[in-house]
Chain A
Amino acid sequence: SQTIHQWPATLVQPVGSPLSLECTVEGTSNPNLYWYRQAAGRGLQLLFYSVGIGQISSEVPQNLSASRPQDRQFILSSKKLLLSDSGFYLCAWRRMGAVALFFGPGTRLTVT
């Protein structure tokens, strides 16, 4: 069966510090991968998605970036965090050719 992991689970970072969140999927190949952000417990905003290694599409302009160095690995990064970057970051995956989207356990980021 497929499993999706995210780490860290929680993170507190000062403004201006860098960020790296990691997501990995097990048990499938060539998944479509997504980064969503959820602020204030409501609303899911799509940040990035990837259909393959090295292929990243950005949905909203921001100071975040994403990379997919391996087939089942998706990384969200920032060089300098802003207070507004605080939120619940969810990685999601979809099997190639399927429609159902499944979320990882999330990373709760607090920027202080």
Chain B
Amino acid sequence: GENVEQHPSTLSVQEGDSAVIKCTYSDSASNYFPWYKQELGKRPQLIIDIRSNVGEKKDQRIAVTLNKTAKHFSLHITETQPEDSAVYFCAASRPRGAGGTSYGKLTFGQGTILTVHP
């Protein structure tokens, strides 16, 4: 099955700096890569996602890049703010397979604790 590795496990930056979190995946058939932000005690929230037919996607201060050849994707947060502090999870999903049973089953990385110091 799919295996997703996420690095670093913790990341500490100063307010205004950039933060980069990287994930690698093992299944070359995976074609959907979301990122979630989870604040303490809350549910994971989808913040950005990318499909394998594009290499980069941006939404204001966050961006995700995908390298299909190398099977890795990254989350970039620019101009970090203290409210960006949270745990960030990457995930990967295969497309709809025979019978559709593999569609939507996300395999998550282990998470990155991001701390933004004022």
Contact = CB atoms under 8 A, between A and B. Distances in A.
Verify that A and B bind, or say they do not: yes
Interface of A: 32, 34, 41-44, 46, 49, 51, 57, 90, 94, 99-106, 108
A49 B89 CA distance: 20
B46 A43 contact: no
Q: Give the interface size bracket for B toward A.
A: 20 to 34
B62 to A, nearest CB: 16
Contact of A49 (B32, B36, B105, B111): B105
Interface of B: 32, 34, 36, 40-46, 49, 51, 87, 89, 93, 100-101, 103-106, 108, 110-111
Contact of B87 (A41, A57, A105): A41
Contacts of A104: 43
Considering residues A51, A99, A103, which has the most beta carbons from chain B within 10 angstroms of its beta carbon? A99
B111 A42 contact: yes
B44 A57 contact: no
| A interface majority secondary structure | strand
B32 A99 contact: yes
B46 A101 contact: yes
A101 B111 contact: no
A9 B78 CA distance: 34
Among A32, A41, A43, A44, max chain B CB count under 10 A is at A44
